[in-house]
């Protein structure tokens, strides 16, 4: 029956039917139209509210388009090529390029000690501090593990963030591993300021945005005032919710060189093309360069090996033979070709910038749904469509969108199963060792800051560094489940430990231990 109907439509169909078939035929012959349709379907399948895709090849723009809406609630506001999205960690490539400019000017060398420029900079091990080089700030192999709590759970200035690095015990020896982290890029920005005499956000604007004509791009989120910007969204229990708080987006400004830039396709075209073409660009009819060719090449030279555990789950399907990190760029092989790329992720926002350099092809995807991994699918599909399958008449291409959606659905199911298994160890019908009022107080640590615990309406309430807040529900014994008011943070486990006198002495929060320093309420105030 299906074959009969198809034949009927093909030969006897109405005018609209014939038009549709002609359109499909044109799409099959036009890779841009085919890719555009693929993106539209992926946006629907992944339920992403809004997305932009920009593709450049051989110095020409193949696609520069917005899909969907800037926010799900309120009047529909379509995404277009001027809609600002977070670049997030794809900002790191810009910071590395800024350092490269100073190298070209002879004002620093990649292998200069960091303390030459930041004499107060100090890590846990003084020997590592002395040996740390400028390039190490960009390669995630300093030995310092993830330290994002210094800007996501605190409101402290850049100098204080860097000062607290000396309190973090190393996770591995210098240059002997790879753990992705953002704080070293903040230090790189401080080096730029020290050497150039201007803050990183001013330097990147004057030396990258202005020469390339990126007039809508902003280095810091606090300067994003244009209403044509994407609003972040998060999926909670299969429901997509808008993140209304600007404070969440503004928090990344504290580590701006690691990921605070906001941009749009109209501007990104210039950056993408420049980074493909040995840092060359055209201004006023004259060809100029942001970097010397050798310095541009240094950005993409592998610096660190990346382990499976620190790479992306997509590797389960793309199966790269090698994975490295350059100066602000991940690298791996794909179908026998080298890929340079970097993702960006902030609360409710995603980005990816990928290059297939030997094909002079680059793709940039921005979205406003938290960890919407169709970004990877659209990157690889663009590589297939516009680079690796050019001149190939085969019509069967890997459906990366469906493949990655199945992969991440499986990973999410495993995560939910792990949560249920964790919940299964709960001992029911237990009670706390002490009255709730006895848990109220201040808990502090030189690295992690201060947590205030109070009693409100018969429940414990927790405030972390006056940034994160939430209610504590009794779980079992002296362990509680913290539900954040900032719903996108989910839940955490909080436990209390008693001393040998039966009084609360310590708190553990998300694997961090803090010591009780003082009660912040008298017993007769508790519960008011």
Condensed to tens digits (0 to 9), the pLDDT of residues 473-508 reads 999 999 999 999 999 999 999 999 999 999 999 999
Per-residue pLDDT tens over the stretch 271-294: 999 999 999 999 989 999 999 999
Residue 12 has pLDDT above 60, yes or no: no
Q: At residue 64, what are phi and psi to the nearest 5 degrees?
A: -150, 95
For residue 159, CA distances in Å to 318, 375, 451 come to 41, 34, 22
- Here the tokens at position 121 are 């900079």
Q: Across the strands, what pairs with 320?
A: none
Three-class DSSP category at 363? strand
Question: Cα separation of 527 and 314, whole Å?
Answer: 50
Task: State the pLDDT confidence band at 247, using cuts at 50, 70 and 90.
Answer: confident
Question: Cα separation of 374 and 365, whole Å?
Answer: 9
Amino acid 249: pLDDT: 81
Task: State the pLDDT confidence band at 397, using cuts at 50, 70 and 90.
Answer: confident
* Percent of the chain at pLDDT exceeding 70: 91
Give the residue from 410, 426, 425, 411 showing the smallest Cα distance to 473: 426
Residue 26 has pLDDT above 70, yes or no: no
Per-residue pLDDT tens over the stretch 175-194: 999 999 999 999 999 999 99
| Model confidence, pTM | 0.92
Task: State the pLDDT confidence band at 16, using cuts at 50, 70 and 90.
Answer: low
Give the residue from 40, 45, 87 showing the smallest Cα distance to 68: 40
Residue 85 has pLDDT above 50, yes or no: yes
- Here the tokens at position 509 are 């929060």
Query: How many other C-beta atoms can be found within 10 angstroms of the C-beta atom of residue 14?
Result: 9
Q: What is the mean pLDDT of the chain?
A: 92
The DSSP code for 329 is -
The DSSP code for 6 is H
Residue 11 has pLDDT above 90, yes or no: no
Task: State the pLDDT confidence band at 390, using cuts at 50, 70 and 90.
Answer: low
* Percent of the chain at pLDDT exceeding 90: 88
Amino acid 27: pLDDT: 57
220: left (phi over 0), alpha (psi -120 to 50) or beta: beta
Beta-carbon contacts of 428 under 8 Å, excluding residues fewer than 6 positions away, are 476
Query: How many other C-beta atoms can be found within 10 angstroms of the C-beta atom of residue 306?
Result: 22
C-alpha radius of gyration, the chain, whole number? 26
Question: Cα separation of 122 and 268, whole Å?
Answer: 36
Per-residue pLDDT tens over the stretch 190-239: 999 999 999 999 999 999 999 999 999 999 999 999 999 999 999 998 99
Per-residue pLDDT tens over the stretch 291-337: 999 999 999 999 999 999 999 999 999 999 999 999 999 999 999 99
**Contact yes or no for 161/186 (Cβ under 8 A):** yes
**Contact yes or no for 481/491 (Cβ under 8 A):** yes
Give the residue from 486, 422, 527 showing the smallest Cα distance to 249: 486
**Contact yes or no for 480/439 (Cβ under 8 A):** no
Residue 522 has pLDDT above 70, yes or no: no
Beta-carbon contacts of 100 under 8 Å, excluding residues fewer than 6 positions away, are 291, 295, 296, 298, 299, 327
Task: State the pLDDT confidence band at 521, using cuts at 50, 70 and 90.
Answer: very low
The angle, 0 to 180 degrees and rounded to 10, between the axes of the packed helices 92-104 and 265-276 is 50
Question: Cα separation of 245 and 222, whole Å?
Answer: 13
Residue 72 has pLDDT above 70, yes or no: yes
Helix (H) / strand (E) element for 330: namely strand 330-334
Three-class DSSP category at 389? coil
Residue 24 has pLDDT above 60, yes or no: no
**Contact yes or no for 404/373 (Cβ under 8 A):** yes
**Contact yes or no for 167/149 (Cβ under 8 A):** no
Beta-carbon contacts of 376 under 8 Å, excluding residues fewer than 6 positions away, are 312, 314, 343, 352, 400, 404
Q: At residue 339, what are phi and psi to the nearest 5 degrees?
A: -115, 130
Helix (H) / strand (E) element for 322: namely none
Amino acid 3: pLDDT: 35
Query: How many other C-beta atoms can be found within 10 angstroms of the C-beta atom of residue 452?
Result: 18
**Contact yes or no for 508/495 (Cβ under 8 A):** yes
């Amino acid at each position: 029956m299906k074959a009969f109907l198809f034949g009927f439509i093909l030969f006897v169909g109405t005018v609209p039917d014939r038009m549709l078939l002609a359109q499909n035929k044109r799409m099959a012959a036009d890779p841009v139209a085919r890719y555009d349709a693929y993106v539209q379907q992926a946006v629907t399948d992944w339920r992403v509210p809004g997305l932009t895709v920009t593709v450049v090849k051989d110095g020409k723009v193949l696609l520069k388009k917005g899909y969907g809406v800037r926010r799900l609630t309120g009047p529909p506001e379509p995404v277009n090529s001027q809609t600002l999205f977070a670049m997030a960690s794809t900002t790191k490539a810009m910071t590395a390029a800024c350092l490269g400019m100073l190298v070209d000017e002879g004002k620093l060398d990649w292998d200069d000690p960091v303390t030459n420029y930041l004499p107060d900079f100090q890590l846990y091990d003084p020997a590592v501090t002395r040996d740390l080089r400028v390039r190490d700030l960009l390669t995630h192999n300093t030995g310092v593990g993830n330290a994002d709590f210094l800007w996501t759970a605190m409101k402290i200035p850049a100098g204080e963030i860097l000062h607290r690095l000396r309190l973090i015990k190393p996770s591995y020896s210098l240059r002997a591993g790879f753990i992705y982290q953002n704080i070293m890029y903040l230090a790189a920005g401080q080096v730029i300021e020290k050497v150039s005499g201007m803050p990183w956000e001013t330097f990147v604007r004057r030396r990258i945005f202005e020469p390339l004509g990126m007039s809508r791009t902003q280095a810091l989120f606090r300067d994003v005032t244009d209403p044509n910007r994407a609003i972040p969204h998060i999926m909670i229990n299969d429901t997509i919710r808008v993140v209304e708080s600007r404070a969440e987006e503004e928090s990344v400004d504290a580590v701006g060189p690691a990921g605070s830039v906001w941009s749009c396709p109209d501007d990104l075209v210039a950056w993408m093309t420049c980074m493909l073409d040995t840092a060359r660009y055209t201004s006023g009819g004259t060809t100029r360069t942001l970097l010397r060719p050798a310095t541009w090449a240094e950005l993409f030279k592998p610096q660190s090996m990346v382990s499976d555990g620190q790479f992306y789950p997509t590797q389960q399907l793309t199966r790269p033979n090698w994975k490295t990190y350059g100066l602000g760029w991940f690298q791996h092989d794909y179908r026998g070709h080298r890929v340079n790329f970097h993702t960006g992720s902030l609360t409710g926002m995603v980005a990816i910038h990928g290059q297939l350099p030997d094909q002079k092809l680059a793709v940039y995807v921005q979205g406003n749904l938290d960890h919407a991994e169709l970004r990877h699918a659209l990157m690889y599909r663009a590589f297939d469509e516009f680079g690796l399958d050019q001149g190939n008449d085969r019509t069967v291409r890997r459906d990366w969108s469906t493949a990655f959606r199945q992969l991440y659905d499986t990973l999410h199911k495993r995560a939910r199963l792990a949560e249920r298994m964790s919940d299964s160890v709960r001992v029911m019908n237990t009670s706390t060792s002490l009255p709730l009022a006895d848990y109220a107080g201040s808990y502090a640590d030189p690295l992690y800051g201060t947590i205030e615990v109070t009693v409100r309406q018969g429940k414990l309430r927790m405030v972390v560094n006056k940034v994160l807040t939430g209610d504590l529900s009794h779980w079992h014994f002296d362990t509680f489940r913290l539900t954040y008011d900032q719903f996108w943070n989910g839940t955490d486990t909080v436990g209390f430990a008693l001393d040998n006198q039966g009084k609360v002495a310590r708190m553990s929060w998300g694997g961090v231990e803090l010591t009780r320093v003082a009660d912040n309420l008298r017993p007769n105030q508790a519960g008011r």
